[in-house]
A and B are shown apart, each in its own frame.
Chain A
Amino acid sequence: MKRWFKQKLGRDIMVVLYSFLVIALVGSALTYVYIENRLEANEARLRQLDERVNRLTTLWDEWQADQYDTRGYLLFGDTASLERSSANEAKFQQEINWFKTQVQTRQGELFAEDLQQFHDFYYDVIIPVTYEYAQAQQDGEVTETFIDAQTIAELPTAQRLIDQGLVQFNPQRGIDILGPIDEVESALGEYRKLMASEKEKVYIEWRQNNNMLQFLWIMSIASFAVLILLFVQPFLRRQTRLISRLSIASNRLLKGEIVDLSDQMKREDEIGTMSRSFHKMAETLRDNERHLIEKNHELQAQQEELIAQQEELQAQQQELEEILEQTQQNEQHLAYRNELTETLASRDSLTAYPEIIEKLVTITDSEVGALVFVDESGTYRVTSHGLNDTLSRQLLDSENSVLTRAMTLKTTVHSSKQVASDHPLPYPYYMFETAVPVHDPTDDSIIAFIYLVRYKDRFTQTQMGDIMSFARQLSLSLLRMRLFEEMKREKGKTERILDSIREAVVYIDHSTNDVFVNRPLYEMFPELSDVSSQDLEEETWEEWRNRLVETVDQAEDFTKYTNRLFTEDFPHDSVSFSIRKGEMNLQMYAERIIVGGLSKGTLLVFRDITSETEAERLKSEFISTISHELRTPLSSIYGFTELMVKKQLPSEKQAKYLETIHSETERLTHLVNDFLDVQRMESGSQMYDREQLDIEPVVRDMLTFYEASSLKHEFELIADDARPYELFVDCQKFKQLMSNLLSNAVKYSPRGGKITVELAHHEQIVSIKVKDEGIGIPSDALDRLFDKFYRVDNSDSREIGGTGLGLPICQEIVRGHNGQIHVESIQHEGSTFIVEIPSYEYAVQEAETTPV
């Protein structure tokens, strides 16, 4: 049992708690039952007393009522009242009997006896006497108004009663009945008083019981609390103390102190288990800690070793850094020197002087420096770095300056001097100057000086070496630059020449494969402008050729020719081709550029031969057309003459043939004349012998002539203006123009009709309209109407002969006079040719203002 308690911490707590609970419950129940009983007894007594009081009251009331009835009977002779009074007797007796049986107390018994005595007296004496008196009254034996005791006493019954000794006779009062009544009344009152005091007593007792009950309740709760305080709290405190010991122990363990829980460890409950585990844990921790401390020692040793190594490494690194810095310095030095050399070697040295002197200052650890150029007239040009105006003036103007001395001595001059403390350092300092001459390698004259200044110390031997070698470099560079400038000038000149010629030129450098082209090439091949010039500059000849060939119509010829350029079979001829679908005709030829027996490059020349080709084409076309046109009439003449010569022909045939030969010869003559006209006009060799001409009479004369030669046609001239129609024209040519237009009007209106010539003035021109009612011109032919040898091709016009040169000649004449000619026509209805030529006034004005 004890063991069972020790195993679990809560068990004893629970047992104690449950015990208390049971005790409290039982105590409460007993108290309750006891108090309940007491209360119940009290209540029973109270009820008993109440009943007695009630019965007493009833008894009293009954008796009082009885008395009234008796008196009523006595006074008024009401028999009903007497009967009621008699009937009460039994009830009265019953009540008395109740008291007799129920009330066991002494007072009760005495009271019951008193009551019995009174009852007996009342019913045995009073009632019979009263009855008798009343009877006597009724019988008239007694007539008195007021009851007289004497009378009563004289009554038989009263006599008997007196005799029996039951009642006393009193002469004043007759029969004494009041005595018992008083007695009973006082007994009743006393008993009632007794009852009331009894009741009071019982109430007090009940109150006392109630108070006691409350007190008991309070007491039991208080005692319960006290019990808890007394037993449970110490128990809990004990357990808590154990746990807090564990807590303190763990804190101490945390701090690394040694913990002893051996007393607690023996316990069998949870605290025991916890303590044991805690102890184990503490031991493990201690072990671990020991292990860690060992490890830590080991690590510390290692770290120390590492730190030592690191220090060593740092020392090494520092050393290396120093070396690196040194190397970097050297490298920088070298880089600067390289840059300097490069800058000197570059083409743009002229603009790089500030850079050069800056680098030189850096390399030689100088403070300031300058390049002083001396030109032929002996004037100086300075490019400086960090040189202020004062210093530079001193340097150039002072007779004692290193520069002047170096110029005089033609050698390197050093100087050192103390400088006042005003500038640029706030204390006196030494200034070391050096001036190194730069010689022209061709004639050894001085062309420049290198001037450098240091403040700290003298220039070292190495630095002087640097400066001297730089001076030599600079002299070479200046020479080279001069040559380069000259070359650039020459190149520019060549470029300008090449750009200003009409031919496009491509030069292919054999050693570099670079391609140089002149501006006309871009004009000839505008496609090249789409490509950025930078791209083109880098392209090889092959790429160039691929670009060009794209636009060439005869790509095969072009490729074949250019393929030969770099072979033994170098083309010495030229090749012609058109580009952009005949837009332009080009001729290309190639030349080798040979210098000292070595071919340096290839030159390709493109000539624009478009206009030449066109002129040639037109010429050959013209000749071919002429020959064709001439051959037709020639064939006729040749054929018919042969027939006439070689064959026997009938005379009518001969006549017909001769006529044909004649007309064909005439045609031939016209043709030749027209050809010559056209040729003259086209070649521009046609001279117009201009004069002031009123055209109206000229046209009128011509119309008269035509009217005479044609019966089918009617002619009309409309010239309404009063002003003369004056032109500034060649009269002969004007007549030829009008003649061509009029003969066309006649020829192309074979069925006749009206031919109208209308002259009109406009602002600056005179217009001449020639209108016919002939076959008209198909609209599709209008455009080509003024083309040479063009003839409207349809059955109407075929029968009408012509060279196809009339209208072109008209056009040439009109244009030759700064005019215009055009035609309006509706097929089958007629045509109107409109010529517009500047009026005389305007034409003269124009001729004066326009320079010849």
Chain B
Amino acid sequence: MTEPLLSIERVSHEFGARRALLPGRRTHLAVDDVSLTIGAGESVALVGESGSGKTTLGRVVAKLITPTAGRVLVDGRDVGALSGRELLAYRRTVQMIFQNTQHAFNPRRRIRDILADPYEIHGLPAPDGRDAALGELLERVGLHASMLDRYPHQFSGGQRQRVGIARALSLGPRLIVADEPVSALDVSVQAQVLNLFARLRRELGLSLLFISHDLRAVYFLCERIAVLYQGRLVEVAPRERLLEHPLHPYSRRLIAAVPGLGERDSAEVSQAEAPGPAPAPGVAAESPAAAAGCHYASRCPLYARLGAPERCRAERPALRPAAGGSAVACHFATEGEEPGANVSSVVSEEVG
């Protein structure tokens, strides 16, 4: 087995941890003991609802924040202590693309200046001159060299996201962290940007950590899908496996929620909804009972059906390997367990 490009080892991040001594200050465990690897050229998705910690984990990988516990390895090297030249080298290996295209660019700087930044900071070579290099960069993401002198607000959302991709690509990274790169765009424009990602992956052999709540986009782009729920990884599986045989009850619920998949007013789905909205972030992590046991138990239909087994309350489920390359963090989920079959039958009738 070759070394993975990226390994995340038991990473946790707690917001407000440094100030925990101040009275009345709440800390919030955004990422809770997550381990995950990405191979060279592989594309892995991080899915979950808002507050699941997926963005925080992405920012940890992009070294925008330093996790409060655990470490991140790239090519087997711990990246936690990098600084100076080594940090710059890391920036050339791992890049990030942001969700909000409106705020991802300084409104007072022309695209030319924005794209020139990486060249200036890293002293990248531009054999035919900087202008030619920048123009080529724009062409590569489907824009025109003539747009270099525009300001960010003169682009549409989709075009701005292309500029964001161009900025990341200029450094020739091997891994790109993409934080909800299409969710703020129109569906028709989403398809264009997703195509661009797919093309770049094929042409450049990029690895991708694709953060999204949109299972359709994720399925199109990523071979493996990791499901986060309130900071913990609940399931990691190859995409077909996750879609057709989701093991964790929460994964099942996510899949049932994809629009255009379920039958309307489907009884099975309504049931999954019954436990109500998610508790406020921070609450679950702090209650000792949840910290000890499974944090999904209070909303879990399987837990309810099994008659509230003691184990779910007492013991935190570890991520354990399952059939077909999946891994699931649930004491009781098994493939034979029914609602999975129910969902997959709906799914296999191709819709949309």
A, B from the same assembly: no
> Which residues of B line the A interface, CB within 8 A?
none
